[in-house]
């Protein structure tokens, strides 16, 4: 870090007198621009009419419902305007992430003034009529919310749920060496866990091959009703905290606009200079050590420039500035005058011409074309998205000479395919695999034949696969993995998140928000589709032989299916060839969330690649070879349907079928396997849903169906309750029974094992008579024998371990 | 902070020569104790026989399955043994939180050696036979997992999912002024978001009225396969980070046991001294300023004292020490000797007598009785749990002269009740309300009539309701709120988490783990039940008038119902009196997770307190007054059942019923309201489930049921799919349609509004004939009129705003 430190020293010395960074003309113009943004922000919250205050403000000019958030807005306006200046000055390629919850008025005001808003929404024109519409639509029913929502140009991050801005910013910066992501971090959101660890993202950034993130911690002082921690600890503590996180903090503090403009301009010049020097040093001198990147701490009053006091309460600089500071002009005669004074304090007549256009000398402060942060294509990733170069997944098939051959672990078969996806796109640098330290554990070690884990902290002799740049990024934070990947996708790249199944619940809420973003953005024609968010959930519920109960939760898909059907897809490939086919499909898809659940342990393989392709294309199908009906089985009526979804349930179902076929050879058994879970829903509910006829053809209209499911059984009922034969569908799945034990014993604890499945079938097949009763008795004895054996030996009985599928039982 | 700083200086000067804290005898004994714990840990992973190595190790002595985690274990043994010393020396009241994922072998070894384990599990006796059983049960199918699970005495924190140790530790320390919670934080878990922000918990701790947390950051160096961030940044950065978080770091670094024992002993003496001085200063001098509490940074090799090298790979001090370092003695002839050497290196013959008892002079190092960390009642909270003193909730009833009177917001009626619960238990100091800065926003401001928000950072003149001690704790981190509350409950106290409904998903995974803990612990007779975890979810999906789509997600209960029926309860009170009754019940209950969803906005009130009590006791029932059948309606057959669950759906259902009654007076309408969601499930599935007969009596066996539900509609199908009349149940709920809009428009967007509900009913009531068709037409027109009106005015039509229920339509 010595070079970096030297550079930092040099930068410090070069810094001009910080109170004179701007000429007085620049100062006037930047302040004028800021006033214009503030004026527009207040206008959005309050005005339904008289947008330029051409005549005295009247009660009838005020909106009926006063909604919106003022508190963070002036500070964000200040930042945006100053970023505009440095973008122009240094010709920067920069995007803006608005972290604080409710920066809507600010990003709307700024994108409107720079012109990017009106280009997308010509109706909201840059004139008085447009201004009025801009004001009206804000926080209006069905209109524009008070966050930087998808509807807002330049946004890749919505501020509704807090904590992910910095992770998104880093995701955007990966593999974009020329990009600077300016990320405003609210001091409220800074208290969240995800944000608190996101500061460490700098340990995963390459100064050579990635871009930069410039965090601007906005010490606004308050949340909704409480002060914020970071605004109240001693400055020395905050400085140490940021240095401890590895950043170089630059403070901008105060409330006097003139001084603050000079300080902010100087701080941004210093920050940009440092970023450029660090990058230059890395790129020209191959010094890949982690620099102490600059970050800015902007300490300014909440609701800055707003009313100082209303009804005897201090507003500016307190939590009371959070939403609408002057809340009821209708009921309080004095409020109208207060509001009028507030609006007038920005002197709109000095800012806008008669038509409502920002005066050209002020407007000139903003950059033009794609340098405008509202028009930067990186913030509209679909514009930049390139198809991945894909190897032929069939080339990675495992040979299945006969169903039931032992595999090496499904994800281990997938890994070379992912390795080659990585390799083929190495030049494009647009594919990454994220995970919380589980990439090898999840069976994907083959990736390290072609790439490394990106890591920019010290390395030791015994470390493995670390490098300054690499396609794999691993940090023990599911939040970070998710946030980085989202940022990476939203800026037009591709990726995969591999995770233990149970712990993906950690990011339930982030998934929710991303799915909502995809839903809203898919309705915006100016936002082309982005790559899908792909989850590979390995180390799943049924195989926690050495972890146990805490690692068992297959409920993420229950959260997923609640989201819009157009967005979500869930796949449970039963074997490696199906996994290859599914993953190929997912990586090519757009604007979905794909959840793929797969095993990593050696397990039986069922389908040849050709069969797997066909099966996955259908998403659901009869496995004729596994049942004992002839090949045109759909024409024949089985006595029982044995259905399965997921690798372990498929194994247990086939084992159950082999028992049925051996002991009751005349019983007509059909096996149905489900890869694409959403095929089970009616076509009216999900685009992948089967129509009634096809569903009935598979599951019959009146025969018992024994359904072995990977996850919680109720989900199958939830998806199939409208089906004709639903009352005959008996589902087994995970029912929160588990401990540290063998894979087979896990199935017994949850009664999804082969013996229980056969017993379930027999109980619904009275026609099996005495033979059936005899078999049931035998299986109950087997279950007892199993318990005895495992309690004594800690292993499954040999007949379980040695069981092999033979098609001719 | 000046007093604190002076004290710190004094403590520093008083510190003895750190290399001579222990006498040579103490040093020998503490090392011997440590060796014993390490020996027992290796034994648990490897040995099925020959537990004292009385004869040369043979392959047949080795377990068939080698499972478990060595990496973190020796470090945790080291810490536990040293904590034992300071507990004895200073007569401390201390518990141990094992943060790193897999500290199982360490906590088991230590609680076994101190005797607390055998007291609970007499079968695992302190002799050779017991030792062998201790070894055998570990990581054996159905046995003891490799975490500090509920089965382990002294544990309030299971290490399966990482990141919550420090939050749990603080939760335990609140209101336990004599308790010190030693919390080992893994450097892996330290990368998670929740842990990264949990360091800030020190800003919410009172040195006067709370206990202390002593974090011991274990720089083990590696996670599963990667180095850890905190072990690889410069020591200077780490120091600044911890100081920035407000802690005083004390480093203990190295690998030479003798030096490390001295350093650790000195560090712990220093830490305990500082804690006592800070507390004394706060308690005697009323100096409530936040001290810079001590924390220890223990930098020791992963897999310390384990094999240095196996098969040419370095093990000790690398990621390869994570699980089982010598993995296959059976297949590698050399491995048996390596293992034998490793076990022998602890010189068991110098530690245990012939019978397998730890030699008394070594055993004497551990504290006795309840001072043993495995026997401290704080780690078995049910032992300490006292009933809350409860006011009579009926006293807080709102008057309901007639159904439909306007309320003030249901949570606002609840608030005075919660205020008085707080007040009545003020002496006992055993009730707290946690929330992420939303307590006032959620309508609970009345709490501040009797208490304050606990906050130990600077305050300003315009802050509200902050104090050094208080029953409300607010930090903008749902993870912290959840973790604190869990720690508080697990140590035998009571509490409530109030949160925006959408963002409770942030802690889905923490809820999962807590529910799992409750399930397992409820089977342990030696762990008495603890207070329930109560969620109050306000600011719910239907009322996001100024936030919009990002704040709309009612899916938390979908996650909840997947957990064991004995543990989970879900309540949706339709009005304030029901909310009072429900909350009273929840606060009295034990060992559940109770989810209560309630509104904060003014809304109609339906039931008198007497009616509410009865309704809530039944959990579900017919609202005779709302339908048009006589009072013994259960005997009468309605034409349609209008069912509702949740406050907004109840309002829309009653509005729909008033339309039906007005336009189709002869139609027989029954209204069923659901408070206790789990009443819908069959009694075989949930203890609250209705039996078939009772369900059929309410919902009929063949009449259409229009069910308006608060959350995602599929959940109702999931709960009722086995019911006789299920195919006639038509559910409306949230279907991911939303934006910033009015409450009524939200219901229209999701087709759960009164007009859609009537249309739904009419479509299933062909007998309504021409009148029905006419009404449908009228309602379609109403929907169009609504859209027009709201688009123009941004408000609901007057007929919606002014609608009032009257029983005599």
User: pLDDT band at residue A6, thresholds of 50, 70 and 90?
Assistant: very low
Residue pLDDT, tens place only, A341-383: 999 999 999 999 999 999 999 999 999 999 999 999 999 999 9
Query: Among B314, B519, B559, whose Cβ lies nearest the Cβ of A555?
Result: B559
Helices (H), B152-305: 165-173, 193-198, 229-232, 235-244, 257-285
Q: Provide the b/e sequence for B249-287 (b: ≥16 CB within 10 Å).
A: bbbbeeeebeebbbbbbbbbbbbbbbbbbbbebbeeeeb
Look over chain B and give the mean of its residue pLDDT values, rounded to a whole number.
95
CATH number assigned to the domain with residue range B2-373, chosen from the 4 options 3.50.50.60, 3.40.50.970, 3.60.10.10, 3.30.420.40: 3.40.50.970
Q: Using the structure block, give the residue that is written with the tokens 């007569």.
A: B91
Task: Report whether pLDDT(A243) > 90.
Answer: yes
Q: Is A501 helix (H, G, I), strand (E, B) or coil?
A: coil
Compute φ and ψ for A258, nearest 5 degrees.
-60, -50
The domains of chain B are located at 2-373, 393-597, 621-801
Q: Which of B228, B319, B558 sits opposite A559 (nearest CB)?
A: B558
Interface probe for A, chosen from B549, B743, B793, B798 (most Cβ of A below 10 Å), is B549
Please indicate whether, in this complex, the C-beta atoms of A740 and B561 are within 8 angstroms of each other: no
A635-655: pLDDT as tens digits: 789 999 999 999 999 999 999
Q: How far is B92 from chain A (nearest CA, A)?
A: 30
- Asked which of A141-150, B270-279, B394-403 is least confident by mean pLDDT, the reply is A141-150
- Kindly list the strands in the beta sheet with B729-732, ordered across the sheet, starting from the edge strand earlier in the chain: B620-622, B669-674, B640-645, B705-709, B729-732
Residue pLDDT, tens place only, A115-133: 999 999 999 999 999 999 9
Q: How far is CA A668 from CA A466, A617, A727, in A?
A: 56, 26, 20
3-state helix, strand, coil in chain A (%, to 5): 45, 15, 40
Residue B80 neighbours by CB under 8 Å, 6+ apart: B37, B96, B106, B107, B110, B373
How far is residue B716's CA from residue B697's CA, in Å, rounded to a whole number? Answer: 18
Per the CB < 8 A criterion, the answer to whether A695 and A668 are in contact is no
Q: Which of A141, A239, A736 sits opposite B794 (nearest CB)?
A: A141
Query: From B151, which residue of chain A is nearest by alpha-carbon distance?
Result: A739
Q: What integer is the mean pLDDT of B23-38?
A: 97
User: Band of the pLDDT at A327, cuts 50, 70, 90?
Assistant: confident
Q: How many CB atoms lie within 10 A of CB A313?
A: 11
Cα–Cα dist A511/A479, whole Å: 10
The CATH number assigned to the domain with range A2-370 reads 3.40.50.970
User: Are B520 and A549 within 8 A, CB to CB?
Assistant: yes
Percentage of chain B beyond pLDDT 90 is 91
Average pLDDT over residues A89-110: 95
Distance from CA of A461 to the nearest CA of B (A): 9
Q: With cut-offs at 50, 70 and 90, classify the pLDDT of residue A632.
A: low
Contact A317 B516 (CB under 8 A): no
pLDDT band at B329 (very low <50, low <70, confident <90, very high): confident
Q: Which residues in chain B are closer than 8 Å to A502, comparing Cβ atoms?
A: 161, 509, 512
Q: Is the pLDDT of residue A12 over 60?
A: no
Residue of chain A nearest B513, judged by CA positions: A550
CB-CB contact of A202 with A4 (8 Å) = no
State the angle between helix axes of B165-173 and B478-490 in degrees (0 to 180), rounded to the nearest 10.
Answer: 50
Q: How many CA atoms lie within 13 A of A55 on its CB side?
A: 6
Cα distance between residue A646 and residue A341, in whole Å? 66
Whole-number pLDDT of residue A13: 42
Closest listed residue to residue A411, CA positions, set A437, A447, A387:
A447
Residue A672: pLDDT above 60?
yes
A559 half-sphere exposure, CB direction, 13 A CA radius: 31
Across the interface, whether the CB atoms of B192 and A464 are under 8 A apart is answered no
8 Å CB contact between A372 and A363: no
Largest pairwise CA distance in chain A: 100
| Structure-token match 């009531």, residue found | B765
Q: Are B755 and B764 in contact (CB under 8 A)?
A: no
Which whole-number Å values give the CA distances from A765 to A479, A637, A662, A741, in the listed order? 49, 14, 16, 32
Strands of the sheet with A466-467, listed across from one edge: A466-467, A453-454, A472-474, A431-435, A494-500, A533-538, A593-597, A568-571
The verdict on a CB contact (< 8 Å) between A548 and B232 is: no
> Helices A508-521 and A478-490, interaxial angle, to 10°?
10
Range 250-269 of A in CB contact (< 8 A) with B: none
Please identify among residues 375-434 of chain B the ones whose CB lies closer than 8 Å to any CB of chain A.
none
Position B240 pLDDT exceeds 90: yes
H-helix segments, A292-332: none
Question: Percentage of chain A with pLDDT > 70?
Answer: 97
Indicate the helix (H) or strand (E) that contains A801: helix A798-801
Q: Which residues of B touch A549 (CB under 8 A)?
A: 145, 149, 160, 516, 520
The DSSP output letter for B298 is: E
Please state, in angstroms and rounded to a whole number, the distance separating the CA atoms of residues B375 and B369: 7
B-contacting residues in A 156-175 (Cβ below 8 Å):
158-163
Sequence-distant (6+) residues with CB within 8 A of B312 are none
Q: What pLDDT score was predicted for residue A603?
A: 95
Residue A172 to residue A483: CA distance in whole angstroms: 10
Judge whether residue B631 has pLDDT over 60: yes
List C-alpha distances in Å: A269 to A82, A185, A628.
10, 19, 76
**B176 Cα to chain A: minimum distance (Å):** 24
pLDDT band at B12 (very low <50, low <70, confident <90, very high): very low
Contacts of B320 in chain A (CB under 8 A): 462
> B171-196, pLDDT tens digit by residue?
999 999 999 999 999 999 999 999 99
Contact A237 B229 (CB under 8 A): no
Residue B502 contacts A where some CB pair is shorter than 8 Å: yes
CB atoms within 10 A of CB B632: 8
How far, in Å, CA of A251 to CA of A298, rounded? 6
* Nearest-10 Cα torsion for B772, B778, B783, B789: -160
Calpha distance B563→A505 (Å, rounded): 14
**Residue in chain A nearest B148 by alpha carbon:** A550
Residue B227 near residue B253, CB atoms below 8 Å:
no
- For A727, nearest residue in chain B (alpha carbons): B722
DSSP, residue by residue, B662-673: HH-TTS-EEEEE
Question: A724 to chain B: nearest residue by CA?
Answer: B727
- State how far the alpha carbon of A355 is from the alpha carbons of A55, A56, A224, in Å: 14, 18, 38
pLDDT at A2: 43
Same fold, A2-370 and A393-597: yes
- What pLDDT, in 10s, does the model give residues A601-612? 999 999 999 999
Taking contacts as CB-CB distances below 8 angstroms, the residues of chain A near B160 are 547-551
Residue A319 tokens, joined: 């939590």
- CA gap A620, B240 in Å, rounded: 57
Q: Is the pLDDT of residue A62 over 70?
A: yes
Packing angle of the helix pair A754-763, A769-793 (nearest 10 deg): 160
Higher pLDDT, A236 or B628: A236
Contact B188 A503 (CB under 8 A): no
- What per-residue string of b and e applies to B654-688 under the rule 16 or more CB within 10 Å gives b? bbbbbbbbebbeebbbbbbbbbbbbbbbbeeebeb
What is the separation, in whole angstroms, between the first and last Cα of chain B? 68
Quick count: other Cβ atoms within 10 Å of Cβ B363? 19
Q: Which residue of B has its CA nearest to A323?
A: B546
Q: Residue A474 forms beta bridges with which residues?
A: A435
Distance CA(A693)–CA(A724), nearest Å, equals 10
Is CATH 3.40.50.2000 the right assignment for the domain spanning B621-801? no
**Contact call for B505 and A717, based on CB within 8 A:** no
Contact state of A160 with B551 under an 8 Å Cβ cutoff: yes
Of B509, B713, B793, which to mutate for an interface test with A (greatest number of A Cβ within 10 Å)? Answer: B509
What does the pLDDT average to over A583-596? 98
Of B246, B438, B479, the CB nearest to A237: B246
> Strand pairing partners for B707?
B643, B731
Which residues in chain A are closer than 8 Å to B242, comparing Cβ atoms?
244
**Rounded mean pLDDT, B61-82:** 94
Question: At which residue do the structure tokens 């070079």 appear?
Answer: A3
Does residue B280 sit in helix, strand or coil?
Answer: helix
Interface test with B, best of A66, A141, A734 (most B CBs within 10 A): A141
Q: Token match 């990496």: residue? A: B71
How close A246 gets to chain B, by Cα (Å)? 7
- State how far the Cα of B609 lies from the Cα of B275, in Å rounded to an integer: 50
**Residue B238: phi, psi to the nearest 5?**
-60, -40
Q: Is A2 on the interface with B (CB under 8 A)?
A: no
Question: How many other CB atoms sit within 10 Å of the CB of residue A452?
Answer: 16
In this prediction, residue A16 carries a pLDDT of 52
A360 CA to chain B: closest CA distance, Å? 34
Give me the numbers of helices (H) and strands (E) for chain B, helices first please.
26, 22
Alpha-carbon gap: B550 to the closest alpha carbon of chain A (Å): 5
Interfacial A residues in 534-593 facing B (CB < 8 Å)? 545-551, 553, 555, 558-559, 561-564
d(CA A582, CA A534): 11
Helix orientation angle between A24-46 and A104-114, rounded to the nearest 10 degrees: 120
Please give the interface size between A and B, counted as residue pairs whose CB atoms are below 8 Å apart: 380
Asked whether the beta carbons of residue B477 and residue A191 sit closer than 8 angstroms, the reply is yes
Phi, psi of B298 (to 5 degrees): -100, 110
The pair of three-digit structure tokens given for residue A112, joined into one six-digit string: 């409107």
**ipTM here:** 0.96
The answer to whether B472 and B435 have CB atoms below 8 angstroms apart is: yes
CATH 3.40.50.300 for domain A393-597, yes or no, is no
Question: Three-state SS for B744?
Answer: helix
Angle CA B698–B699–B704, to nearest 5: 150
Mean pLDDT of A167-185: 98
CB B578 within 8 A of CB B607: yes
Determine whether the interchain pair A739/B142 forms a contact, defined as Cβ–Cβ distance below 8 Å: yes
| Closest Cβ opposite residue A520 in set B203, B503, B549 | B549
Pairing of strands B248-253, B294-299: parallel
Residue range A591-601: mean pLDDT, rounded: 97
* b/e code B186-225 from CB counts within 10 Å (16+ = b): bbbbbbbbbbbbbbbbbbbbbbbbbbbbbbbbbbbbbbbb
Six-digit token pair at A466?
């670390």
């Amino acid at each position: 870090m010595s070079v970096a430190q030297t550079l930092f020293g040099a930068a410090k010395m070069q810094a001009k007198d910080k109170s004179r960074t701007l000429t007085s003309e620049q100062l006037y113009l930047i302040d004028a621009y800021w006033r214009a943004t503030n004026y527009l922000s207040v206008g959005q919250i309050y005005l339904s009419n008289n947008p330029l205050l051409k005549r005295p403000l009247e009660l009838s000019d005020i909106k009926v419902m006063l909604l919106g958030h003022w508190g963070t807005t002036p500070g964000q306006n200040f930042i945006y305007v100053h970023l505009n200046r440095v973008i122009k000055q240094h010709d920067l390629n920069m995007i803006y992430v608005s972290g604080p919850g409710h920066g809507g008025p600010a990003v709307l005001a700024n994108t409107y003034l720079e012109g990017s808003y009106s280009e997308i929404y010509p109706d909201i024109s840059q004139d008085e009529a447009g201004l009025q519409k801009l004001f009206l639509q804000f926080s209006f029913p069905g209109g524009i919310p008070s966050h930087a929502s998808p509807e807002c140009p330049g946004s890749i991050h919505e501020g509704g749920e807090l904590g992910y801005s910095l992770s998104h910013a880093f995701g955007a910066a990966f593999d974009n060496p020329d990009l600077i992501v300016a990320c405003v971090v609210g001091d409220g959101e800074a208290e969240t866990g995800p944000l608190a660890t996101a500061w460490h993202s700098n340990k995963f950034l390459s100064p050579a091959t990635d871009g930069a993130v410039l965090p601007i911690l906005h010490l606004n002082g308050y949340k909704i009703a409480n002060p914020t921690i970071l605004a109240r600890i001693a400055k020395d503590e905050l400085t140490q905290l940021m240095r401890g996180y590895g950043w170089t903090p630059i403070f901008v503090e105060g409330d006097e606009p003139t001084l603050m403009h000079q300080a902010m301009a100087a701080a941004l010049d210093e920050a940009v200079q440092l970023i450029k020097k660090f990058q230059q040093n890395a790129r020209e001198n191959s010094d890949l050590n982690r620099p102490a990147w600059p970050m800015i701490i902007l300490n300014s009053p909440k609701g800055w420039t707003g009313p100082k006091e209303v009804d005897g309460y201090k507003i500016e600089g307190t939590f009371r500035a959070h939403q609408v500071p002057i809340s009821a002009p209708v009921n309080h005669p004095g409020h109208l005058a207060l509001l009028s004074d507030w609006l007038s304090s920005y002197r709109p007549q000095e800012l806008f011409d008669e038509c409502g256009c920002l005066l050209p000398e002020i407007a000139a402060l903003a950059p033009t074309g794609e340098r405008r942060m509202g028009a930067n294509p990186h913030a509209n990733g679909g514009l930049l998205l390139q198809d991945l170069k894909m190897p032929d997944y069939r080339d990675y098939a495992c040979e299945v000479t006969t169903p039931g051959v032992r595999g090496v672990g499904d994800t281990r078969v997938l890994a070379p395919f992912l390795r080659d996806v990585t390799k083929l796109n190495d030049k494009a640098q647009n594919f990454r695999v994220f995970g919380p330290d589980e990439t090898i554990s999840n069976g994907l070690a083959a990736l390290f034949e072609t790439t490394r884990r990106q890591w920019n902290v010290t390395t030791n002799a015994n470390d493995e696969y670390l490098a300054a740049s690499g396609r794999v990024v691993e940090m023990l934070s599911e939040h970070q993995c998710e946030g980085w990947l989202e940022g990476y996708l939203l800026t037009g790249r591709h990726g995969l998140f591999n995770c233990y199944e149970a712990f993906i619940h950690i990011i339930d809420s982030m998934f929710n928000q991303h799915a909502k973003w995809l839903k809203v953005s898919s309705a915006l024609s100016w936002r082309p589709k982005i790559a899908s968010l792909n989850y590979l959930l390995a180390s799943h519920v049924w195989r926690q032989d050495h972890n146990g109960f805490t690692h068992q939760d297959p409920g993420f898909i229950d959260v997923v299916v609640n989201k819009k059907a157009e967005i979500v897809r869930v796949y449970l490939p039963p074997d490696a060839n199906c996994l290859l086919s599914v993953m190929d499909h997912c990586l090519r898809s757009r604007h979905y969330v794909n959840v793929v659940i797969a095993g990593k342990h050696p397990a039986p393989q069922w389908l040849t690649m050709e069969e797997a392709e066909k099966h996955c294309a259908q998403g659901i199908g009869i496995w004729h070879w596994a049942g004992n009906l002839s090949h045109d089985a759909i024409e024949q009526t089985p006595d029982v349907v044995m259905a399965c979804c997921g690798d372990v349930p498929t194994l247990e179902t086939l084992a159950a079928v082999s028992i049925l076929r051996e002991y009751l050879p005349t019983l007509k058994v059909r096996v149905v396997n489900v890869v694409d879970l959403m095929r089970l829903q009616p076509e009216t509910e999900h685009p992948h849903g089967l129509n009634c006829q096809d569903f009935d053809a598979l599951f019959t209209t009146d025969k018992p169906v024994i359904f072995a499911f990977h996850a919680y059984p109720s989900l199958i009922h939830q998806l199939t309750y409208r089906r004709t034969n639903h009352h005959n569908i008996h589902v087994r799945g995970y029912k929160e029974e588990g401990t540290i034990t063998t894979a087979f014993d896990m199935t017994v604890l949850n009664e999804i094992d082969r013996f229980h499945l056969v017993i379930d079938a027999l109980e619904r097949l009275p026609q099996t008579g005495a033979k059936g009763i005899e078999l049931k008795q035998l299986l109950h004895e087997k279950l007892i024998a199993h318990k005895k054996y495992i309690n004594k030996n800690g292993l499954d009985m040999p007949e379980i371990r040695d069981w092999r599928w033979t098609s001719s039982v």
